[in-house]
Chains A and B, each alone.
Chain A
Amino acid sequence: MGKAYVVGVGMHPFGRFLDKSIKQLTRHAVWEAIHDAGIDPKRVEIAYFSNSFAGALSGQHSVRGQIYLRDAGFSEIPIINVENACASGATAFQHACLAVSSGQVDVALAVGVEKMFVGDTAKTISALGSAGDVETTKGQGLQFTALYALKALDYMEKYGATPYHFAKVAEKNSENAVLNPYAQFRKKLSVEDVLNSRMIADPLTLYMCSPIADGSAAVIVASEKIANQLGKAQVHLKGSVLKSGQLYDPNNKQPSVITKASNELFEKIGIGHSDINMLEVHDAATSIEFEHVEDLGLVPRGTAFEEVVSGTFHISGKLPMNMSGGLTSKGHPVGASGVAQIVEITKQLRGEAKERQVYTNEKLPLTGLCLNTGGRVEDDRAAYAITILAR
């Protein structure tokens, strides 16, 4: 297997863009990535198009990638439509890398787009609910915020965390988003702001939850040969893993999918937990950052809520997490989120993150991890994607 390099990244800012169509959002991110790579777009040989809800929200249920990418100039090349709920973006990126590393193509595009502001919040929440088994959740009022609330309650009971700790994560992520021109909310929130915002699903308040968003992100992946030609051979895929949810274990004995998958991945690519300099995780609610970083084995079980208070996960901390602002402050346009994580880690590794730049022992970081999760099947999430990029 050859190496797959990230040679170009692009995004449309996340937020509420009532005047922007899905085509416009797609074109913006794709062409920003093309310009960033400095590549002739005719050299893109395959595209993976990540989107979850254009079917439910706009009626474009089928061939979305072919429709939206045609507007960005693409025809004839194979286009694969990727749908794995909130993990669609990472799934698309991992497969673009596979197309390159396997030698199938020299240049691949992964793009994630979502338009969630459609003038009817209940419709959008209902669409999100379809990321579960609709046969068993019909009429139950399934919403992902509630699932995160249940996990938050469990974490509080097990380890003694309180809503204050979830608010500390929101405070941190909002500070990071202030520094990110692509973020939806660029306003610093205090712990009080977060705790006093309205309750969404007990114990999660509004500012602890990721918002509905419009937005897009695109990444161009290339072989070593092309990356060198472009002078863009800085960041490459170190390793990745994609998993589906596991069966419910009434005795709660088996490790989580994240723990099993990350251990498998670390061993396969021969790196240790301490080699991870920074990470972007799937904070659909701020409370889940604790479970994610603990499941990944990067801090001991039951300690993450104290670590956020001591500053470990801040940009200047020992293990910066969600430097982009995370889903909660950067925004969560579902199909774009996983690709946007790759964009952030790439910028950090290149040293292009400006005021958000992470330094590891006063040097640019060498390795970053992305955790992107999506959907629900029975008692677990539907999809998990862990992606590690390195210089």
Chain B
Amino acid sequence: MDNMLELNVWTRDNEGRPSLIGSKCVECDHLSFPAKEVCPYCMTNGRSEEILIGRIGKVVSATTCYTAPKGIQAPYTLGLIEIESGVQVLAQISGNAIKKGDKVELVIYSSVSAETAEETIGWKYQIVEGGNQ
């Protein structure tokens, strides 16, 4: 972790595959990403358990961006991903001819800033082989 103030939002499952860390409320089954101690749906405190979600997802919508913030190379694709457990996340997506319905998987990537030589480890989605609709 490169910043003590940040909580990790991803990890690896038992088989070493990247996964996001979400939470599930024991009282109402509401799923949340990022993980929370308090359920934002029923507001029960301390009855949420951490779960691994979002290893695989489906593209809800995607757009190609031709300008980019620092550390990102344009053009790139940003989209909404419905992760398998019915939660939606906004993420960068890599792959060709990305469109609605495509099957994607979470990947961890590393990029090194040309200016500061600082390494950033991040997560994004990638079209799975044969995942294009």
Contacts and interface: CB of A to CB of B under 8 A. Distances in A.
B66 A142 contact: no
B34 interface: yes
How big is the B interface, by class? 35 or more
Interface string B73-94: 0001011101000111111100
Contacts of B34: 133, 135-136
B96 interface: no
Contact of A201 (B7, B65, B71): B65
A248 to B, nearest CB: 6
Nearest to B40: A247
Contact of B65 (A121, A123, A137, A143): A143
Contacts of A150: 61-63, 78-80
A201 B123 CA distance: 21
Given A147-B90, A247-B40, A202 B64 contact: yes
Contacts of B9: 135-136
Contacts of A138: 6, 120, 122
Contacts of A128: 69
A104 to B, nearest CB: 31
A1 interface: no
A269 to B, nearest CB: 30
Interface string A361-379: 0000000000000000011
A189 B89 CA distance: 36
B14 interface: no
Contacts of B89: 136
B67 interface: yes
Contacts of A203: 63
A259 B118 CA distance: 45
B72 interface: yes
A138 B6 CA distance: 10
Nearest to B78: A146
Contacts of A135: 6-7, 9, 34
Interface string B1-13: 0000011010000
Interface in A116-163: 121-123, 125-126, 128-129, 132-143, 145-147, 149-150, 153-154
A5 B36 CA distance: 43
A258 to B, nearest CB: 19
B68 interface: yes
A201 B90 contact: no
Contacts of B79: 150
Given A126-B70, A150-B80, A247-B41, A141 B33 contact: no
A136 B68 contact: no
B90 A139 contact: no
A198 interface: yes
B69 A143 contact: yes
Interface in B94-121: 109, 111, 120-121
Interface of A: 121-123, 125-126, 128-129, 132-143, 145-147, 149-150, 153-154, 198-203, 247-248, 250, 378-379
Given A143-B67, A247-B41, 17 more contacts: A123-B70, A126-B69, A135-B34, A136-B33, A138-B120, A139-B92, A139-B122, A140-B91, A140-B124, A141-B68, A143-B78, A146-B78, A150-B78, A153-B63, A201-B78, A202-B63, A248-B88
16 contacts: A125-B67, A126-B70, A135-B34, A137-B90, A138-B122, A139-B111, A139-B121, A140-B90, A143-B67, A145-B65, A150-B62, A150-B63, A153-B61, A200-B67, A201-B63, A250-B82
Pick the 7 closest A-B CB pairs, nearest first: A139-B122, A141-B72, A149-B63, A126-B69, A146-B78, A125-B69, A126-B70
